[in-house]
Structure 1
Amino acid sequence: MKQDRGRWTLAGAILAGIGASACCFGPLILLGLGISGAWIGNLTALEPYRPIFIAVTLIFLGLAFRRLYRAPQPCDEARVCANPKVLRRQRIIFWGVGAVLISAMAFPYLAPYLLGY
């Protein structure tokens, strides 16, 4: 049961990160795929909610970090969580997802410097 809670915190962080970067990163991806049109300008409608999505993303990442590093996890020998390889794999996935989410959230702030506009 506690294992499922760890998955939900990471899934929540991923969804909130997608929401935080949807206003700016989404149109760039669509343009890169060759999809264009005047309606792409409407995707910036989520911009006012960006700080909320960023806060939710950071909260979920913090909960996932706490679950993986701070909170002790009592576990029986017969369960999967007793295997140190599973915890190591979860931590690798956490840092990979965290790096992608942080870069996606920082993209609108760094885009003028990276893309020159």
Structure 2
Amino acid sequence: MRPHRATIGSLLMGAAAALGASACCAGPLLLVVLGVGGAWGSRLSALQPFQPLFVVVSVAFFAVAFRKLYVRAEACATGEACAVRSVRHRQRVIFWVVVPAALTLMSFPLYASLFY
């Protein structure tokens, strides 16, 4: 896999795991706010035992993305997308947009009682 795709892949997988971590708590609230009701929405609470696992997986993927972006930025051949400074800068901006949003979602069970 190319270095820039591995970084984006790590970010996407981390964001997906963060969504999984918040599905038990934020999912039903979001469905109610959107006007989508039904008993099936309450079944998302069955994911609550897996929430710590989703958090660990998400943090691991974000750590890999951070490592690829900052600690060990791979040397790229001329002409590769990762050799262009604007691409690396854009990836870093996306990283710092996605990570706080994911952390907010993952920590939702801590402040969910304020909404229910």
Q: Same fold (TM over 0.5)?
A: yes
- Residue 64 of structure 1 corresponds to 65
Structure 1: which 4+ aligned runs deviate by more than 6 Å?
none
- Residue 96 of structure 1 corresponds to 97
- Residue 84 of structure 1 corresponds to 85
Deviation at residue 38 of structure 1 after TM alignment: 2.9
For the 8 Å contact 2:25–2:112, the answer to whether it is kept is: no
Alignment pair present for 1:15 and 2:3: no
- Residue 112 of structure 2 corresponds to 111
For the 8 Å contact 2:67–2:73, the answer to whether it is kept is: no
Report percent identity of matched pairs.
41
Flag structure 1 segments of 5+ consecutive residues without an equivalent. none
Flag structure 2 segments of 5+ consecutive residues without an equivalent. none
Deviation at residue 22 of structure 1 after TM alignment: 0.5
Provide the C-alpha distance between the structure 1 equivalents of 2:39 and 2:73, rounded to a whole number of angstroms.
52
